[in-house]
Structure formats: structure tokens, C-alpha cells
């Protein structure tokens, strides 16, 4: 269990984390989300005793990290995959860490096998490791003490699709064993598949603390229906009919519509009544990305200007 109570961190006039209170429970994968600069990494650093809170507490199994008698056996973390001596081989890095924590050589072999690093890869110096290999080595280090609490900051960076799937399966299996698993990521589609629960922060303050399905359902984005057809005039007539039936219709060029507020069955029935041919009628579920964008809209610290688009988008209103 990770317990945060009124956790606050200021750097001079800047408040990085602001009165954050939340429990990260065992037995589930908790996704830790927020825009760039939201305070996620600072929060993780305070949990691990790397930054001292300005106010409040960060506890692991009821104690501050600095008071843990055997920290590597209690909490494992991957915050920076590059935190390895550039000339030291990966195996030597893990052996040194293990020896300093009373962990045997056999466990080093176990975690290297678990993360998929063979003898040749483990013998490479740190400076020659690819980003993906560095991530795997960092995860091996986090697992070295077989801890009940695990923190991973952007663990899929640099991994290929097979590696991303492996991380998803690993984190879920660790949670299924009853461990506390906290994962920070900017990949919303991956978090939607991986996390059971979400903690969302913006500008250092808590925005959401709820099961993933509730966060998605509570976002302003609704499920929609994607419609495409060969007859622009027919789609225009269909759009007007859909709007009159209570739908919200966005026109996507001459051959496409996006409809919210009506089911795909209802859209298909109305198209049939009007004699409008359709080439696509696809229900599109609400996504975590849409919900996240809606939740954090007022908390984005670094916002780019919207890009111009050559595609015509406009909304059809009922008359």
C-alpha cells in the first residue's frame, strides 16, 4: 500500500505537487496520469525518499521510505532506465545491487530471465544498451528484491510492440499476486488496457481517483458512430434527419459523419428510411484518451497551437 496525505512539494515559487491525498491499493494496477509538468515524477520521487516533501506524508506500508529496514525488499522502482554506469555491464550492475542488499546471485539470473535479457545482452556495458534493453534492465532491478510494492515511470519507452505487450502482462500478473503496482504513462491506449484504477493529476492537484471504466464513462467524450457513404447529398439529408432525431452530427468531409447521442442501429434505420447507401457504420466506444483530454483541459502547462487541417469539419444542428 502507498499512502499519500496532503503531499506537497514546492521548488521556490513553483508548486509541483499540491496537497495530494490518495491511496494506491494492492491487488490492482493503478495508472498515474497527468500532462507534462503535472507532478507525477516528483510525486514518485517523494514516495522513494529522493525528494523531501514541503508538507504532508508519503508512506510505503505505513512508513516513510527512509525508515524502511530493507527498502529493496519492500519497494522496487524504475524511474530512469539510464541510471547505470556507462562502462558497467548490466549483470554486474544487478550483482552489485544484489550484494549490497543481501540478495543472492541466483535471483539476478531469475530477474534477467524474467525480463528477457540473455547472457550476451546482460554482458553489454550500459552505454551500449538500447533504450528498450535499458528499460528491461531497469525493470529487472526493480524486481530484484521481490518487493510487494512497485513503481514504474514510463516503463514502455523504447519497447517494441512485443515488449509493450510483455509489460502489460507483467504488471497485471504482479497485481494479481496481490502487489501494489503504480504505473505512470502518457500512452492512454495502453493504460486503458492495463490499469484497473486511475489517479489523474494536473498542475500538482488531484483531478480523478477512480476505476478506469468510471473515468472513461465520466469524461465529456461520449460513444459515437462513424458513418461513411458514397453519396454526399444523401449524407447531408441523413445528417439533418439524425440531428432532428436528437443526434449530434459532425460532418467529416463529403463522405463522412460522426454521430453521438444515437446508436448505430438507429443511424442505420434512418439511413434505410431515406434510401441512403452506407459503406461504413461503426460504433466507436469512448476512449481513455478522450476522457483524459477532457479532464485535463484546464491543466495543460505546455499547449501547442492547433494545427490547420485541410479536412472540413462542421456540426449539423436540428432545424
Chain-centre distance of CA 36, in angstroms? 12
State the cell numbers at 81: 532506465
124-162 pLDDT tens trace: 877 777 777 888 889 999 999 999 999 999 998 878 888
Q: Give the Cα separation of 315 and 151 in Å (integer).
A: 44
- pLDDT 10s digits, 44-65: 999 999 999 999 999 999 999 9
Residues 117-125 have a mean pLDDT of 79
Q: Are 138 and 78 in contact (CB under 8 A)?
A: yes
| Adjacency order of strands within the sheet including 2-11 | 14-24, 2-11, 55-60
Q: What is the pTM of this model?
A: 0.79
In whole angstroms, what is the distance from residue 297 CA to residue 294 CA? 5
In whole angstroms, what separates CA 291 from the centre of its chain?
12
pLDDT of residue 141: 92
Domains and CATH numbers, the chain: 2-214 (3.40.50.300), 224-316 (3.30.70)
Mean pLDDT, the chain, integer: 88
Torsions phi, psi for 267 (to 5 deg): -60, -45
Query: Residue 311: its pLDDT value, please?
Result: 47
Which region, left, alpha or beta, applies to residue 104 given φ > 0 means left and ψ of -120 to 50 means alpha?
beta
Give the strands of the sheet with 224-228, arranged side by side: 280-284, 224-228, 256-260, 248-252, 313-316
Amino acid at each position: 500500500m502507498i499512502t499519500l496525505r496532503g503531499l506537497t512539494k514546492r521548488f521556490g515559487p513553483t508548486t509541483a505537487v499540491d496537497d495530494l491525498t490518495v491511496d494506491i491499493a494492492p491487488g490492482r494496477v493503478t495508472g498515474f496520469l497527468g500532462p507534462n509538468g503535472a507532478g507525477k515524477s516528483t510525486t514518485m520521487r517523494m514516495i522513494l525518499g529522493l525528494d523531501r516533501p514541503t508538507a504532508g506524508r508519503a508512506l510505503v506500508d505505513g512508513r516513510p521510505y527512509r525508515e524502511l529496514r530493507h527498502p529493496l525488499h519492500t519497494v522496487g522502482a524504475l524511474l530512469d532506465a539510464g541510471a547505470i554506469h556507462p562502462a558497467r555491464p548490466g549483470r554486474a550492475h544487478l550483482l552489485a545491487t544484489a550484494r549490497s542488499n543481501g540478495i543472492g546471485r541466483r535471483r539476478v539470473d531469475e530477474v534477467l530471465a524474467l525480463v528477457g535479457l540473455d547472457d550476451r545482452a546482460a554482458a553489454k556495458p550500459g552505454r551500449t544498451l538500447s533504450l528498450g534493453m535499458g528499460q528491461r534492465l531497469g525493470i529487472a532491478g526493480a524486481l530484484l528484491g521481490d518487493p510487494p510494492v512497485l513503481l514504474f515511470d514510463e516503463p514502455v519507452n523504447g519497447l517494441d510492440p512485443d515488449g509493450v505487450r510483455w509489460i502489460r502482462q507483467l504488471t497485471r500478473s504482479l497485481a494479481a499476486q496481490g502487489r501494489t503496482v503504480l504505473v505512470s504513462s502518457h500512452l492512454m491506449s495502453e493504460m486503458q488496457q492495463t490499469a484497473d484504477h486511475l489517479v489523474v493529476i494536473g498542475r500538482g492537484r488531484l483531478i480523478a481517483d477512480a476505476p478506469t471504466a468510471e473515468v472513461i464513462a465520466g469524461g465529456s467524450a461520449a460513444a459515437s458512430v462513424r458513418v461513411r457513404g458514397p453519396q454526399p447529398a444523401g449524407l447531408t439529408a441523413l445528417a439533418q434527419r439524425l440531428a432532428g432525431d436528437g443526434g449530434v452530427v459532425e460532418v467529416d468531409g463529403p463522405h463522412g459523419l460522426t454521430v453521438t447521442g444515437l446508436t448505430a442501429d438507429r443511424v442505420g434505420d434512418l439511413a434505410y428510411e431515406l434510401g441512403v447507401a452506407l459503406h461504413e457504420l461503426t460504433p466507436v466506444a469512448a476512449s481513455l484518451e478522450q476522457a483524459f483530454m477532457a479532464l485535463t483541459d484546464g491543466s495543460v502547462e505546455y499547449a501547442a497551437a492547433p494545427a490547420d487541417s485541410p479536412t472540413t469539419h462542421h456540426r449539423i444542428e436540428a432545424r
